[in-house]
Structure 1
Amino acid sequence: MLVRPTRRDLLKVIGAGGALLLAGAYSPLAFAGVRLGPRQRFSFELLREQARQRAAVPYVAPRIPDVDLLYGIDFDSIQKIRFKADQTLLGKPAGRFGVQLFHPHRFASKPVQIYLVEKDQARELPFSTDLFDYDTPGLAGKLADHSGFAGFRVMDPAPAKTDWLAFQGASYFRSAGVHGQYGLSARGIAIDTATPRPEEFPDFVAFYLDQSADEGIIVYALLDGPSLAGVYRFTCSRSRPVLTDVHAELFVRQDIGRMGIAPLTSMFWYGENNRRRSADWRPEIHDSDGLALWTGAGERLWRVIENPPVVKTSSFVDFNPRGFGLSQRDRNFENYQDDGAFYDRRPSVWVQPLGDWGEGAVQLVEIPTDDEIHDNLVAYWTPKESVRAGSAWTFDYRLHWGDDEPFVPDLGRVRNTWKGRHGIAGLSAVHAAQLAAGVKFVIDFSGGALAQLEQRYDLTPVITTSRGRVDQMHVLKVVGTDRWRASFDLYVEGTDPVELRCYVRLGEQTLTETWLYQYIAAPA
């Protein structure tokens, strides 16, 4: 939602205020481990003004102290630096969610300031090596004058030692969801993703942590980057699913070609639809297996994720979308066989716009990968209106971190997608020369009105293709299950992408969401 700048004069951020602590009262600012900075007046309005003022002047990249030393803190070294549990912040009184801090390292080297908030006051927690245990001799002494942390994580109440929310690296944050298993991440903003211009990664440069939320924590964040500055309020609830209400106000420094709102970042190497891309013994490896969309017009869509040969960007034009998300619908351990990464427990994330977002598009970026260590998926909303220097934008949305998308429709939903040799099973080899230009798709649906149906033969698959032709279209119930299977053969020449759609209906009644797939034939 575009907010036009006003003519009101810029307010000056007010400095330190008066006394706050009451004698004998607990306060999250009463932190004994390290001397806190001076008290400052704090409010969202003051933080917003800081962001506005930053955007009014040229961007200055943060200085990274000890950059050579931090580069030596690689993945193995990070594991040997531990935040001291007895220094946990905000964990009192009993039952509160504590906070532990991340040490800077090679992959998160830019300093982040951490402030503790109570009512209208905030105090900075300076970086101190006294907060960490180091297994590497001499490292603490070399970092004694470092200027910031790498981020923080929010812990479950003691005596639990688990965390459920983390902010670390550029504008990334994520939740472990209901199963305590981290997976995909959210980001504050995406700038020029998958465009000819280099992608920009603005940073959260300061966090203000507020314990006043009853079931979680409120995080205020200041964001800065070459193209914009911004201020965020995250109201994070330890519910089932975990909820994060996001209020973002953005001030644009320079024209932006593509601004991605509520971006999600995930990983898809291979699934049942493209196992031939695998070099691994495990049947499937992915954090997300599809993009779910609920359009402003009410249509429910399921776009199957692929691992394409080249970078692909798909746009789903919409007006005031009701929601979208990257989902991990497959919850069957047998389909992953991974007892370390537990891909079957990875959370799905649904973006629920709060208020009108106007015209724009949900975009899905798929990047080739040959390993599970790379995040190769991005999904976000991009407004139709151009993002010009001097403009201001406000967005509100809620993130649902759970097993499934919320607001499940009374429709059959996609459960599996397979593709393989077309024609009639057992006969294709005989007619290979005649059938060389085709591929078979098989889609399983379940739920909604389908659950009430016994086997019958008058359900119709409605299939459209952007090019080529389809044949052998069928819908049958899978014997002994609650699933209905649609199948068809696609005949197409060349390697240009083919956009496919399929849903099932009975007469004029739509029974399922719409399955979407972008098929790219392998070169001959």
Structure 2
Amino acid sequence: MNRRQLLQGSAVLPALVLFPGTEAVAAVPFGASTVRELARSLASKSFEAPDEKLPAKLNDLNYDQYRSIRFRPERALWRAEKLPFEAQFFHRGFFYKNKVSLFEVVDGQANEIRYRKEDFSFGNDVPAFTADDLGFAGFRIHAPINKPDYYDEVCVFLGASYFRAVAKGETYGLSARGLSIDTGEAKGEEFPTFKAFWLERPAANATSLVIHALLDSKSCAASYRFTLRPGETTVFDVEMSLYPRVDLEHAGLAPMTSMFFFGPNDRDEVDDFRPSVHDSDGLAIFNGKGESLWRPLSNPRDLQISTFQDLNPRGFGLMQREKRFAAYEDIESRFEARPSLWVEPIGDWGEGGVVLIEIPTREEIHDNIAGFWRPKVPLKAKSENNFTYRLHWGPDAPKPHSLARFVRTGIGARGEGSKLFVLDLVGDNLKGVDPNSIKGVVTAEKSEITNIVTQPNPDTGGWRLSFQCAVKKDTPVELRALLVRDDKPLSEVWVYRWAP
């Protein structure tokens, strides 16, 4: 595409994207920089709230009514062409009132995908309504990930800037987001939204799918290019360009949200037949110093915010390490099949920190866990900020080292004012090691550690590290533990905040 074509197309696309309801036109040129230019242009203007206008009868749909509105699979984008990917669309209503513009890109030309009521089936309880061009709430991508002749749902973009994905053999769990702003701040969180997407038609033999997205918010605009590769691990290559309208002091990059209700480390006041209930059980970090950290999640009594300062992080993510059905005993939810999500920064991200937010919850329906990278220096208004990273959705993180890993954290009372911590580890480097050469190193701030014991665990083929910690009723305790051999690390570093 040459400059003249780009300029011609740029005169039409902003009208379609920035002013929903504009009359549809023929295909317009679309290039690699189109969405980036749209984001830059959008950030130079005052923010306008998303279009939430809906027929009155769709405004008050309940959960079951909305769930009964289904896109007809036989009308999926690219099904007739028998391409390796298909797209299906979500109807607006219930929580999902914002209108999202969708486009198909073919041979450098963008065509708007128009809403057609006949593409959906409606449940008997959905009230009749009249509408010509409602637009969409989002979309989902299908591909033959488990069987070569069946198109499974691989990812979904729906609501604000949220999206989820699965790998082979998995079910949906935690979510990623395009961007978070002021998460955990007292003044309240700002929720950016994806307002438009461009889906590039895949080739007949394609193994990847390219999706472009335009994000908007009161404080900034941004463009995204996602390259999706489904498989044993489903990978998203993400190219992001961020244009702040104001200084962003609390921006969250590569954010993710998950749920932790209870587990063996946190079962206070839980009356449930299941041993554990969570979409993720820990935060893993591979920091710029080459150190691997494991922070088990908890459901605290009060809001907890932890920041792990770093320079040029190599990776971080909310993980679901526990993969045994017996750890959950939930036939319907299948928590053991929920994916982990690992963020791999591409290039240097500079100074900042991985932020973990744990919010108290009394129900498993709430996503009470958030994690993201926060730059140390605020992102300045009217600046351009480019970030590239890779999202790995799958059973585990790409393993960056051969150190043993913590797979279970158990906590229980041990007398008055003392807690017993029992940590299980697995790893090939623990096999055949002389038990007398392994030592557990445990430290704590403002607390006494006693009875440190290390021993093989014949059930897991790994090792167990246990210790007692004196705790006070109203003082959080920061703990750190690892296994060493001849003063050299045998394991990653376990870090934990015991918050009564």
Q: By the TM > 0.5 criterion, same fold? A: yes
What's 2:136 paired with? 149
SS at match of 2:150: coil
- Indicate which of 27, 34, 40 corresponds to 2:28: 40
Aligned-CA RMSD value: 2.0
Show the 5 A alignment for 1:104-503.
104-136=92-124, 139=127, 141-142=129-130, 144-157=131-144, 159-212=149-202, 214-422=206-414, 435-453=415-433, 456-479=435-458, 481-503=460-482
SS at match of 1:77: helix
Q: Residues of 2 paired with 1:128 and 1:282: CA distance? A: 44
SS at match of 2:40: helix
Alignment check: 8 A CA contact 1:134 1:140 kept: no
What's 2:485 paired with? 506
Alignment check: 8 A CA contact 1:315 1:362 kept: yes
Alignment check: 8 A CA contact 2:328 2:336 kept: yes
> Which amino acid is the alignment partner of residue 172 of structure 2?
Y
SS at match of 2:408: strand
Q: Residues of 2 paired with 1:231 and 1:181: CA distance? A: 28
What's 1:59 paired with? 47
Q: Which runs of 5+ in 1 are unaligned?
A: 1-9, 18-34, 423-434
Alignment check: 8 A CA contact 1:290 1:327 kept: yes
Q: Residues of 2 paired with 1:211 and 1:452: CA distance? A: 53
> Which amino acid is the alignment partner of residue 492 of structure 2?
E
Q: Residues of 1 paired with 2:340 and 2:168: CA distance? A: 10
1:520 counterpart = 2:499:
yes
> Which amino acid is the alignment partner of residue 380 of structure 1?
F
Alignment check: 8 A CA contact 2:84 2:202 kept: no
Q: Deviations over 1:368-423 (max 9, x none)?
A: 1111100011110010111222222111000011101112421110011111122x
Q: Residues of 1 paired with 2:65 and 2:299: CA distance? A: 32
Alignment check: 8 A CA contact 2:65 2:125 kept: no
Q: Residues of 2 paired with 1:362 and 1:103: CA distance? A: 35
Q: Deviations over 1:427-479 (max 9, x none)?
A: xxxxxxxx41211111111103112325x234211111121111111111124
**Which structure 1 residue ranges, 4+ long, deviate > 6 Å from structure 2?**
none
Alignment check: 8 A CA contact 2:421 2:466 kept: yes
Shift of 1:217: 1.4
User: Which one is further off, 84-93 or 268-277?
Assistant: 84-93
CA 1:95–1:45 in structure 2 vs 1: closer, same or farther (change >3 Å)?
A: closer
Alignment check: 8 A CA contact 2:260 2:278 kept: yes
What's 1:81 paired with? 69
State which structure, 1 or 2, has the greater radius of gyration over its C-alpha atoms: 1
Alignment check: 8 A CA contact 1:129 1:140 kept: no
> Which amino acid is the alignment partner of residue 519 of structure 1?
W
User: Which one is further off, 97-106 or 205-214?
Assistant: 205-214
Shift of 1:37: 4.5
Alignment check: 8 A CA contact 2:85 2:202 kept: no
Q: Deviations over 1:195-254 (max 9, x none)?
A: 012101111000100123621311100000100001000000112200000000010011
Alignment check: 8 A CA contact 2:8 2:29 kept: no
SS at match of 1:114: strand
Q: Deviations over 1:80-123 (max 9, x none)?
A: 21111221102353352111001112111100011010121001
SS at match of 2:431: helix
User: Which one is further off, 76-85 or 359-368?
Assistant: 76-85
What's 1:429 paired with? none
Q: Residues of 1 paired with 2:484 and 2:324: CA distance? A: 28
Q: Residues of 2 paired with 1:83 and 1:500: CA distance? A: 50
Q: Residues of 2 paired with 1:444 and 1:76: CA distance? A: 42
Q: How many residues align?
A: 481
> Which amino acid is the alignment partner of residue 37 of structure 2?
E
Q: Residues of 1 paired with 2:220 and 2:55: CA distance? A: 25
Shift of 1:272: 1.1
SS at match of 2:168: helix
Alignment check: 8 A CA contact 1:92 1:98 kept: no
SS at match of 1:117: strand
Q: Residues of 1 paired with 2:56 and 2:190: CA distance? A: 23
Shift of 1:487: 0.9
CA 1:79–1:120 in structure 2 vs 1: closer, same or farther (change >3 Å)?
A: same
- Indicate which of 10, 15, 33 corresponds to 1:14: 10
Q: Residues of 1 paired with 2:174 and 2:485: CA distance? A: 37
> Which amino acid is the alignment partner of residue 159 of structure 2?
G
Q: Residues of 1 paired with 2:366 and 2:448: CA distance? A: 35
Q: Residues of 2 paired with 1:252 and 1:15: CA distance? A: 23
Alignment check: 8 A CA contact 1:37 1:126 kept: no
Alignment check: 8 A CA contact 1:327 1:404 kept: yes
Q: Residues of 1 paired with 2:262 and 2:86: CA distance? A: 37
Shift of 1:128: 1.8
TM normalised by structure 2 equals: 0.92
User: Which one is further off, 120-129 or 260-269?
Assistant: 120-129
Alignment check: 8 A CA contact 1:347 1:403 kept: yes
Q: Residues of 2 paired with 1:241 and 1:81: CA distance? A: 30
Percent sequence identity over aligned pairs:
38
Shift of 1:161: 4.8
Q: Residues of 1 paired with 2:12 and 2:371: CA distance? A: 41
